[in-house]
Amino acid sequence: MDKNEITAWALANGWEVMGGHPSLIKPGSPKKEAIVRLVCLATVVNLEVKKPAGKWEKVGGAPYAKVIADPEGGPPDGLNFAAVPSISRLMQDNRDARVFAKMR
């Protein structure tokens, strides 16, 4: 996958661009602050999680050539999404929040 494909996948799965990176926010939080983000650099993409102290920690990353799309639309292989507890639930919550925001 390349940067555009990863970004397109993320946006289709509840992520939104914040600070220039596809990001997920904490559901129900009054502040729209990212807690998980994909940092797309020139040759690699990194999965980062925000620690309670406010510092970003890299939990996975790979060159674009090693990131493989999931045929069923799930998280791409190669970025260690398994290191983020409940990533599927977080993506679903963010997707739902975007849908309900449009209904208001």
Q: Where are the domains of the chain?
A: 3-103
The full DSSP string for 57-103 is EEEEEEEGGG-B--TTS-PPBTS-GGGSTTHHHHHHHHHHHHHHHHH
| pTM listed for this prediction | 0.89
Tens-digit pLDDT string for the chain (104 aa): 999 999 999 999 999 999 999 999 988 777 788 999 999 999 999 999 999 999 999 999 999 999 999 998 889 999 999 998 888 899 999 988 877 776 76
SS3 16: strand
Q: CB-based contacts of 2: which residues, under 8 Å, 6+ apart?
A: 64
Strands 44-50 and 34-40: antiparallel
